[in-house]
Structure 1
């Protein structure tokens, strides 16, 4: 350990150690030293070494700070503290003494490996400010086509390496403007309707799910104004001799589940979102014989999708 004149960063480290010591119940210096010696810590610290670190008499080695912080964090119970998280917090404070303001900043690699931006306690870290400033979301509306799930073409490290090469060859401004241009939807391949490296996972399945959700909205409207619609639809289903055999077996098997049918038979538009998804599908199967898209993408749902009701709508009847 080396003696140094008072330094603002050192004072901040001492204040943080004092706060952690207090939160741990102020164990004695000897107790802290003993716990360090008994545990798996990077350094063995005498009680005088603990005292010197906590009182700010010297700037301790990092291994000393880490050992003390691990022991004190593990002793906190109300509320508990994560020793690993506390060690990461104190590492920045200790580095700031050695390296100045930049010592408190994460390296690019540390930022890439870390979780979150460190603002859970309400304090803005340098990394959080960087994250806010660099996020294109704050400057543009990201094009919807870029939100489609897809298989990455390269690893994150490879993408970073390519970005660095682009910055070196073309400059940082060119790289950032190219990123914004891409995220706004003016990407390579946009003219053909699909960006290079992106694909829609299952357009038909997504389309049918959208049709189902719209159909649920329609059936709730009908249930609200047509008396006994569910009971009449159930009778119509059982009497339908043209119904697909597998579909009929699935519906009949579901009817053997008393708990499920209790949900089905007592459903109302007001309780629709309280029943299970299985019950919602059963009600839909009773009321709707078949459904699907009949118009091109882009039309409103009421024009794009067709529903063959077991009991025709009053206007159709």
Structure 2
């Protein structure tokens, strides 16, 4: 049975109704009776009378969740362009919970957070989980291991970080806090996709000229070291490259174009550690591509190259005896 909102939930109900009315408008403002009849004939969790549709869209009372879910699912599919019903239902659930539960209703549970595999809204709006993610990130309070972070000055003290996150735990729960911290430590932090890293090296961040030269020299040294120790490494890497289903099509096409040049392939196939300085840049690039799946900067300036740069080999290095 529907209930009237108490004073504390009035603002939350207004937010829910505003979102419902926006969705109704985007669907072309279908009549209440049409919405009701369509829900009755479709695969929705509950039937809703045309009066129920009207009272829900006008915010005359707090609806049951099944009512909101049914209306939102129908309206989402009626929008032009259509909106994904599951995505819209997920967006409306915290709005409805806020009406029933107050501020804590808008927060994801730890289980919801794990299943979502993200920090929230993809549309650019800040969610409570994103704000919590910024506060939880230990980069703001400590200098992390150089393999994980760029050199930086902490923004707050460790004591302040502890106090802030005690509040996070109080609001979100310890389980949410721990899952969020693990996500951050794996590099999935708030801002990462927008190229604004909170301490970690952004995969798309461009190297400066000195770093690029240092990375190139280090990679050359490691390639020559492996070629000397593993005489058949290049042939095995070429085969592994062409069997790699995860390759980007653009990268694959670029290599195929290079392989159509007989003189370039002759350079590559006759290459040895001794002839390395004499071969062309194109041959160097092709050998790099065959041998290394990825090269990344993972440490701050000033560290030894083996701590600054990480090479992911196409053929893993054999274990040491």
What's the TM-score, normalizing by structure 1? 0.50
After TM superposition, the structure 1 = structure 2 runs for residues 1-317 of structure 1, keeping only pairs within 5 Å, are 1-4=2-5, 7-78=10-81, 80-140=82-142, 142-143=144-145, 214=220, 275-276=254-255, 279=258, 282=265, 285=268, 288-290=271-273, 298=304
Q: 1: CA distance between counterparts of 2:124 and 2:305?
A: 45
Distance 1:134 1:284 in 2: 52
Unaligned runs of 5+ in 1: 148-166, 184-208, 219-243, 255-271, 293-297, 301-317
Q: What is the CA distance between 1:75 and its match in structure 2?
A: 1.1
Contact 2:72–2:88 (CA<8 Å) still a contact in 1?
Answer: yes
**SS state of the match for residue 272, structure 2?**
strand
- Aligned in 2, Cα 1:141/1:5: closer, same or farther, shift over 3 Å? closer
**Rg (Cα) greater in structure:** 1
2: CA distance, partners of 1:278 / 1:211? 26
Shift of the 49–291 alpha-carbon distance from structure 1 to 2, 3 Å rule, reads: farther
| Unaligned segments of structure 2, at least 5 residues | 150-168, 186-214, 225-230, 240-250, 276-303, 307-321
- Higher RCO (C-alpha 8 Å, min separation 6): 2
Looking at structure 2, the residues matched to 138 and 12 of structure 1 have their Cα atoms a distance apart, in angstroms, of 33
Quote the Cα distance in structure 2 between the aligned partners of 1:291 and 1:61. 76
**Count of aligned pairs between the two proteins:** 196
Change (3 A) 1:111 1:284: farther
RMSD over aligned Cα atoms: 4.5
User: Structure 1 residue 138: deviation in Å?
Assistant: 3.7
In structure 1, distance between residues paired with 2:305 and 2:129? 44
TM-score by length of 2: 0.50
Query: Any conservation in 2 of the 1:69–1:86 contact (CA below 8 Å)?
Result: yes
Q: Per-residue CA shift, 1:99-151, capped at 9, x if unaligned?
A: 1111111112211211311242222111111111112244445435579xxxx
**Are 1:211 and 1:291, in contact at CA under 8 Å, matched by a contact in 2?**
no
Change (3 A) 1:42 1:299: closer
Residues 146-171 of structure 1 show CA distances to partners (whole Å, capped at 9, x for unaligned) of 79xxxxxxxxxxxxxxxxxxx9xxxx
Q: Following the alignment from structure 1 to structure 2, what is the Cα–Cα distance between the partners of residues 283 and 59?
A: 75
- Distance, in Å, in 2 between the alignment partners of 1:38 and 1:291 is 77
